[in-house]
Structures are given as C-alpha cells and as structure tokens.
Structure 1
Amino acid sequence: MEQVRLGIIGARGRGIIAKYWHNPEGRSVVVGAVDVDPKKLEEFKEDVNSDAFVTTDYRELIAREDIDAIAVMSPDYCHEEHAIAALKAGKHVFCEKPLAITVDGCDNILRAWKQSGKHLMVGFNMRYMNMYRTMKEIVDSGVIGEIKAVWVRHFVGLGGYYYYHDWHANSKNTTGLLLQKGSHDLDVIHWITGRYATKVSAFGSLDFYGGDKPNDLTCPTCSERETCTEASPGRLIQCAFREEVNVEDNNMVIMELEGGIKASYLQCHFTPDYQRNYVFIGTEGRMENSEPENKVYVKTRRSNNDRELSDRVYHIKEAEGSHGGADPNICKDFIDMILDGKQPVATPIAGRMSVAVGCAATESIRAGGKVVQISPAPEFMQQ
C-alpha cells in the first residue's frame, strides 16, 4: 500500500481535521464520509472532497472495499459501536478521544483491535502540542528530578458554549465532563509522569448550569435571550439551563499514581478565561507552564549538581495548523503508523486508562467523595 484511503464518521465537529488527510498526490486521500445531517455532508464535500462518497448510514461507509481506514469523529457515546464495527470490517481506526464513555466500552474496543490485526490510534492531540511536548522533554531530561507531585488547573472558559448547549450536558452521552473534557488532561498527567493513576477521590457538583427550563427550549426562541449570560441567539442550540442537564461543571480530583506520585486535577466550566495550568514538582525542581504567555518555567532547588545553578524559561515556538499545530501532526502519525509501522505517541491502552480515571472520579463524586480504585488494564492486553 502506498496511499491510505480514509472514510470519516462524523463529517463536522472534529471531523474537520479530514482536510489534513486529504492529499490526493500524497500518502492519504479521504474518499468517503458519513453524518446523520445531510447538510454537514454537503459542507464536507465543499471543504474536503467534492467527489467523496457520502451517506447517512455508517454501515454503508465501512462496507466499502475502497476504504482502508476509518476516522471515528462521532459523538462520544457512538465511539464504541463505530470503532468496533470498523475494526471488524478490517479497517484501521483513528478514534477521537475519549476512546469510549465506559471502561467496558474501552475494553470491548481493545479486544476487537487485538483480534483484528489492524492499527488503532486514539486522538490525544495534546501530546502533539509544542507546549506539552516541551514539558515531556524537560521531565525526561531529569532537570527537576523524580516527579512527586502534579497539580493541574483547567479553566474551561466558554464551557457553556461548548458543553452545556448540546448532547454533552447529559450523563447518558458522556458519563461526565471529567471523562469527556478531562480525558486529555488525565492522559497528559499519565504521559509526562510515565505512571498511571491507581486510585482517586473526587468532589464535584452542578453549580452554574442546569435548571428548570424546558429541554426543547433553544436560544433563538427564548424570551430571555437578551439578558441571559449564556445566550447564543444565532445558533439553534438547547438552553444551558434546561432540566436534563446533569453533568458537573465544577470538579476537583485527587489521585495517587503508580510509584506514590500525588496528583490533583481541577476543572471549572464557568470561568472567564480558557487555559490549562500544569505544575510538576520533582526532587530537584518545579516546572510550570503558562499558556497565555506560551512559556514553560523551570525552577531548581539545591541538588548538589550543576542543575541547581540556574532557573530556566522555555519560549514555546508557534506551529501551523489547528490546535497549535497538533492536528496536522497527529493525522500524519496515523498515516505513518499504517504505511511505515511507526509506533503511536499515545497507545490504545493510554486511551483506556484516561477513561478509567475519568469514570472512577465521576463515580467518587456521585458517591460523596469515596476513594475508588482504578480498573487495571484487562488481562488480554498484558499477554
């Protein structure tokens, strides 16, 4: 095979990264897409490939013999069904994060992957961002010594706009936003430390969104649209204060990782700003990022070696492409994995373990903060 032919499940949303795969003169080409909304399929054809096969039935897409790989960009609650069906059809699979919305769902995907002999990649594009690749390199260099503590603050500005006006706001579709939104951050904690979480305790609640508005109320039809802080009158979206909203918007998680590393993750969806702040504390120093400044700071402590002689500031370079250049790079890696056998930056088991932590933390919240053990990797993955 010299060129990978791809089909996209979910033509819009994260499906917009299909443009990075469509290179008819190169190593990959997008030949088909599926979406339940015909309008989105028309937009897909205009933006990506006017000759692409399009359908509203994903089974028609994965049955095509002219497709080698499937990118699963559908809503989270569909990932398990779509990824398994594609793997069983003999397709390589790129699955947007989270891998699934339950641990069992992840394990079902992993089982299908192991049986298929095909490639599976999870869409952890934060591993491809210059900021976090730099932080990984700093930790691996040993400059702050052995990691002992991790503190993460996630300010989800516009959280209502992204998560409380649509399907994300109901737990049946996401389990919770510690899983849906937090899966990136939980994975970065695992990745940079090189350790998986083993147990968690968490507290959270619905402190701002949700309420008593009708579930079918939309912003353009609402009489309060001129005064509502969350109104988006130009979009036909559900009210963020409707009755069915039941996923926490204010969360605090404490976890213990392998090797005794202590970590915390704080997530709030009604902050005015949007940024992630990571702090890693080791035996020889501390590392902290600043997304607004696009910098990483390293402060060293006495260690009786040359590392203690200076503090350091890393100026992160800009990169082209969406998500700080991460999307074109992760798309390239998926093709390189299929054609060249390149190992992915994020393994499928990493996708499963971030979901396991998100599920355990959500369980802890809804049980009053009890300590919950993280479900270990299934035995068939350890063989």
Structure 2
Amino acid sequence: MRIGVIGYGARVRGVINNELKKLDPQLQIAGLVDIQPAKHELARQDGSCNVRVFDTVEAMLEEEELDGIMIGTRCSLHTPMALKVLSSGLPVFLEKPVATSMEDALQLKKGYEEAGNRRVVVSFPLRVTSIVQLAKEIIDSGKIGTVEHVQAVNNVPYGNVYFQGWYRDEEETGGLFLQKATHDFDYINYVLGTKPETVAAMVSKQIFKGTKPAGLRCAECDENRTCPESTTFRTDSLKDDWAYCCFASDTGNEDSGSALIRYENGMHVSYSQNFFARNKAAARGARFLGYKGTLEFDFYTGAIKVYMHHSPRVETYEFTNEKGHFGGDTELSRCFLGLMDGSIKESVSPLEDGLLSALLCLKARQSSVTGTFQPITWE
C-alpha cells in the first residue's frame, strides 16, 4: 500500500509503525504534507525513504498515485483536511475529534454527504477492542435485559499532558470533552445502538490553575525541584514536550467534567472524567445496568464482570496483552488496509459516528457554558 499522510503527528506515526507496517510490511508513505521539516526526515528514518514531500494536499493528490490518506494534524485542522480529500474517493484514516467547533462539524457533515465517500475510518479504537466487542455481544444476547442505565467514568492518570503541552490551548483542542469523552461517548453509543437526544454537562477547573507567569516553563521555575508536576528532571521522551507550567495564568482546559445524556428510548447515561487522578486511581470503563443484571468493565484492569440480579452468580472475563488502545488500534488498522485493498467494504468506525460523537461533545461543552440542557440536533 502507498499512503499519503497529512500531518506526521505522534498518533499517526504510531499507528503506521506499530500497527499498519506489522500487518503490511511493504506499506510505504508515498506522499507527505507537513509544515515541519523535521517530520519529513522522521518519515524517512521510519523506513519511507522515497517519500515525496508536498506543500499542499492538492498537489499530493494530483501528483501521487495513492491507495489511502491518513490525517494526523493537530485537532483544529482535522475538518479542513478531511474536506480536501473526501471527494477523492480514497479510503481516509481520520484522527479524532473530527471537528472542534460547530461550524466545522456542520461543514464536515455537508462535505461528507456531498462526496459520498463511505470509506472513512475515524480513530475510535475503543469501540473495536476485545472488551467492548464482548460487552456488546453479551448485552445484545439479552442476558442482563434491556440496558436502562449506564454509569461511565474516565479517570485519566496522564492528565498533565493536557496542561503542559500543546493540548493546553483550548482553541486548538475544543475542550476536553472533544479530546477524551469523544472516545467514551462513541463506544457507549455503539454498545447501546440508540441515539442520544439531550445532554446536560458541567466542568470544573480546581487544580490546574494559578498565578505563575504566562508561558513559564518548568526549567525556568524556581519550584521545579519540589513541584510534583515538574518535567525538568524527566528522563523519558516526553520531557521536552511537557515543558509548560500547569499552574500558570495561561493554562487552559477544565480538569474535570461530567455529563448526563438522555437517549431517545428514555434511558440516561451518567459520565464523568477527571484529569488529576494518578497511578492506581486510573479508571476507564462503564456499568451497563438492565433489570436482569449488570455488566461492568474497566480497560485498565482488562476485565468484564456480569452480575446477575436474581441469582448469586458473577461471570468474569479477563483479557491480557491487549496493546495499542487495548487492542483497538490493530482492528482499526486492519479495517483501513482492507478498505484500501478492497477486501473490506464497510468501515468499523464510520464518519457518521464520528460526527455524532463530536456533536454530542460540542453540545456538552455548550451546556457547561450556558447551564442549559442541549438537544443533540444539527439545527
């Protein structure tokens, strides 16, 4: 396969090198559009020695014969870049969130409908993990009855990435519902198989705020030897990226958020995410409650438990060695390759679902600002 890459970011680079090339060792980056020259050399070092670098997406599409396109830019460019390539008809791997504003979401929806290109894989790996697939299988079997309530949580142990690196810019990220909850909302929608109707949300910023000077870096701070968030003495590859003070006056993003979502059948979901939990406090998963039983899972423990309500029985399923978003990255990559070679006809993570998740996140953010319930509609 010969792919074109728009934005050779860390996420897309990881999917290419850790997943796609393992499934197709001959895969090559044939064309690259990235404003950073260092990324051009990185692609060559990663094995795509003959990659052609282009100034524009249009030039790459015109001059290169490609089997597919991957979009790995920063978040605010996901929609503009997708709109440039959808009409090509090529399979597209699109990073989430698919849009960071309502204006972008509406434009992407319109462009998608006009292009008619259904060969799009949105980077939603959680929905295709072994855990979520089995959870859906059990729920669809009727074992726990119809799901009437969901309690979901995401306590992020690496939350400082959203306050010390480029993610701290809310204009770039669109807020942390779009950065994290978009994954969770997607797998919940997928498992339930019904549509969200209304959302009410609230966010807080209680920890990562302060009066340190704007733009202050850890290396320049007189507290860098005592601050528990200091990156100055890190020895891993994240040291240089996580450079800013998260207690400075320009630190963006909420550090916790919650949403209540009502679905069209009347049931509701409660969801909460937190960005200052650490170590063993990490949790990501959900409880799906029916009248007959409750199914719960946690990605970090790699386990599903099914509690029967009317008998003293608990079923436990355990998963091991699930890498790359708990195994989801492999399945997304397998689908993208299949769309390129024609062996797969439908995306396991279509753009319709990416748009719905983005809409839900955007409405949740609007709710948190206005203090109102927001309908999940495109009007």
TM-score (normalizing by structure 2)? 0.89
How many Å apart are 1:281 and its aligned residue?
0.2
Q: Unpaired runs of 5+ in structure 1?
A: 303-307, 379-383
Is the aligned partner of 1:243 residue 2:245? Answer: no
2:363 matched residue in structure 1: 360
- In structure 2, the gaps of 5 or more residues are 233-238
The alignment yields a C-alpha RMSD, in angstroms, of: 2.3
Give the secondary structure class of the aligned counterpart of 1:79.
helix
Q: In structure 2, do the counterparts of structure 1 residues 245 and 62 end up closer, same or farther at CA, with 3 Å as the change threshold? A: farther
Q: Deviations over 1:114-138 (max 9, x none)?
A: 3334322211111122222221111
* CA distance in structure 1 between the aligned counterparts of 2:333 and 2:275, rounded to whole angstroms: 29
* Separation of aligned partners in 2, 1:316 and 1:24: 22
Distance 2:108 2:360 in 1: 17
1:255 to 261, 269, 285: 261
CA–CA separation in structure 1 for the residues paired with 2:121 and 2:217: 36
**Structure 2 matches for 1:185-196, cutoff 5 A?**
185-196=184-195
Query: Which of 1, 5, 26 is residue 8 of structure 1 equivalent to?
Result: 5
Aligned partner of 1:275: which letter? A
Quote the offset at 1:29 in angstroms: 3.5
Amino acid aligned to 1:172: E
User: Any idea what the Cα deviations from partners look like across 1:111-164, whole Å, max 9, x if unmatched?
Assistant: 32333343222111111222222211111121111000000111011201x211
TM-aligned CA deviation for residue 372 of structure 1: 1.1
Q: Give the secondary structure class of the aligned counterpart of 1:252.
A: strand
Structure 1 residue 277 and structure 2 residue 285: aligned?
yes
For 2:177, the equivalent position in structure 1 comes to 178
CA distance in 1 between partners of 2:89 and 2:254 (Å): 38
Query: Secondary structure of the residue that 2:148 maps to in structure 1?
Result: strand
Q: What CA distance in whole angstroms lies between the structure 2 residues aligned with 1:25 and 1:292?
A: 29
Question: Conserved in 1, the CA contact under 8 Å of 2:149 and 2:268?
Answer: yes
- In the TM superposition, residue 227 of structure 1 has moved relative to its aligned partner by 1.7
Residue 373 (str. 1) matches residue 375 (str. 2): yes
Asked if the contact 2:121/2:332 (under 8 Å) is kept, the reply is no
CA contact (8 A) 1:12 1:44 kept: no
Q: Give aligned-pair identity as a percent.
A: 26
Q: Which runs of 4+ in 1 moved over 6 A?
A: 23-27
Scaled by the length of structure 1, the TM-score of the pair is 0.88
* Counterpart position of 1:313: 316
**CA deviation after TM superposition for structure 1 residue 89, in Å:** 4.5
Change beyond 3 A, Cα 1:291–1:332: closer
Q: 1:337 to 1:68 in 2, by over 3 A?
A: closer
- 1:18 is matched with 16
Amino acid at match of 1:127: R
For these two proteins, the number of residue pairs brought into alignment is 366
Measure how far apart 1:49 and its partner are. 1.5
Residue of structure 2 equivalent to 1:305: none
Q: What do the CA deviations read for 1:25-82 (whole angstroms, capped 9, x no partner)?
A: 7785432223332223322221241222235654543443322321111111110111
Are residues 62 and 181 of structure 1, via their aligned partners in 2, closer, same or farther at CA, if it must alter by over 3 Å?
A: farther
**Equivalent in the alignment of 1:381:** none
Classify 1:261/1:24 alpha carbon distance in 2 versus 1 (closer, same or farther; 3 Å).
closer
Is 1:326 the counterpart of 2:332 in the alignment? no
Q: Aligned in 2, Cα 1:41/1:313: closer, same or farther, shift over 3 Å? A: same
- How many Å separate the matches in 2 of 1:269 and 1:211? 16
Contact kept in structure 1, 2:30 and 2:64, CA below 8 Å: no
Compared CA separation, residues 363 and 96, structure 1 to 2 (3 A): same
Q: Distance in 2 between matches of 1:205 and 1:25?
A: 45
Q: How does 1:11-160 map to 2 (within 5 A)?
A: 11-16=8-13, 17-19=15-17, 20-22=19-21, 28-55=27-54, 57-118=56-117, 119-160=119-160
